């Protein structure tokens, strides 16, 4: 008789994500480690292994320095912790911009090494062809329009998009192109509420907002921002906890106990039999 008594958990699929368009909002958070993925798994539809890991975990000033190896390492960790959420791994800067063939090779590497279900690319003006190329070859792709962190050097910083008519038209064009190319979902970052709503109505794919109002079909936040692990967070972040304060308090109490030799106590110590 089999020792397995519980049926395996069914993982959410890309078609299920796409079918949520205009229905119950999609819940998305970033995850970079197995323990965090395990905690978030029951509450999220999608876990995004974002290239924000470069800034959040590795202390980089932006996402430009993130490598395929880093994304693969964190993607593997998240897949070890997540059982039901749909897992998407960011393709880092320089891993897909040279063309569809380069993107395909690197996407295949990420998916094979991590076991994740999809990749995400920032949908610049030349990326729609790459999205279509990947989708035609069996790779689920999430697009990303508006503020694109990988374009920080061109933009001169992290700046909201769509505030001028020319910018609005550009963001809409990139969103429509990503949608037509077959993206199963599209992240909209850092744009005005009316633009986010307009794009959401225009595209077939569900939109996932970050700093793009509640007009989108879902929302994503960097989990460390949401948990209050940094002194500063962007305007669009709502802090649901103050873990930075709690960690500091716990560390201070630990230091006090060590210095007073009250830790470890007898109940935390091994003795000879």
Assign residue 181 the CATH number of its domain.
3.20.20.60
Structure tokens at 28: 């998305």
The reply to whether 266 falls in a domain is no
**CA angle in degrees (0–180, nearest 5) for 144-148-152:** 165
In-domain check, residue 78 = yes
Q: Is residue 192 part of a domain?
A: yes
Q: Which domain holds residue 189?
A: 14-241
Strand partners, 207: 186
> What pLDDT sits at residue 5?
54
The model's pTM is 0.94
| Catalytic choice (38, 189, 198, 246) | 189
Residue 159 domain flag: yes
The reply to whether 271 falls in a domain is no
Say if 263 falls within a structural domain: no
Domain count, the chain: 1
Tokens at 173, concatenated: 């064009």
Known binding residues for 3-methyl-2-oxobutanoate are: 51-52, 90, 120
User: Looking at the domain assignment, is residue 135 inside a domain?
Assistant: yes
Residue 24 a catalytic site member: no
114-160 pLDDT, tens digit per residue, is 999 999 999 988 999 999 999 999 999 999 999 998 888 877 777 77
Which residues participate in the annotated binding site for Mg(2+)? 51, 90, 122
Q: What is the pLDDT of residues 20-71, one digit of tens each?
A: 999 999 999 999 999 999 999 999 999 999 999 999 999 999 999 999 999 9
CA distances, 264 to each of 94, 128, 181, 268 (Å):
49, 59, 60, 6
Q: Which helix (H) or strand (E) holds 218?
A: strand 218-221
Residue 21 lies in a domain: yes
pLDDT, mean over the chain: 95
Q: Quick one: tokens of 49?
A: 């292994």
């Amino acid at each position: 008789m089999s020792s397995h008594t519980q049926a395996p958990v069914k993982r959410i699929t890309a078609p299920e994500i796409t079918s949520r368009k205009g229905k119950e909002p999609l819940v998305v958070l970033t995850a970079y480690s197995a323990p965090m993925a395990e905690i978030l798994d029951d509450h999220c539809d999608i876990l995004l292994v974002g290239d924000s890991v470069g800034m959040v975990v590795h202390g980089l000033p932006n996402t430009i320095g993130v490598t395929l190896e880093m994304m693969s390492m964190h993607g593997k960790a998240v897949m070890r912790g997540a059982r039901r959420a749909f897992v998407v791994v960011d393709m880092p800067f320089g891993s897909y911009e040279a063309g569809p063939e380069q993107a395909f090779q690197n996407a295949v590497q990420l998916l094979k090494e991590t076991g994740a279900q999809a990749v995400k690319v920032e949908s610049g003006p030349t990326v729609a062809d790459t999205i279509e190329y990947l989708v035609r070859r069996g790779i689920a792709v999430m697009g990303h329009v508006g503020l694109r962190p990988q374009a920080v050097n061109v933009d001169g910083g992290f700046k909201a998009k769509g505030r001028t008519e020319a910018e609005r038209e550009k963001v809409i064009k990139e969103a429509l192109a990503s949608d037509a190319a077959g993206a199963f979902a599209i992240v909209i970052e850092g744009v005005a509420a009316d633009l986010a709503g307009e794009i959401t109505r225009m595209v077939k794919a569900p939109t996932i907002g970050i700093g793009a109002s509640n007009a989108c079909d879902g929302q994503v936040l960097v989990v460390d921002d949401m948990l209050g692990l940094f002194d500063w967070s962007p305007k669009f972040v709502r802090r649901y906890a103050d873990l930075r304060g709690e960690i500091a308090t716990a560390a201070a109490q630990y230091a006090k106990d060590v210095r007073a030799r009250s830790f470890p106590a007898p109940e935390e110590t091994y003795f000879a039999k």
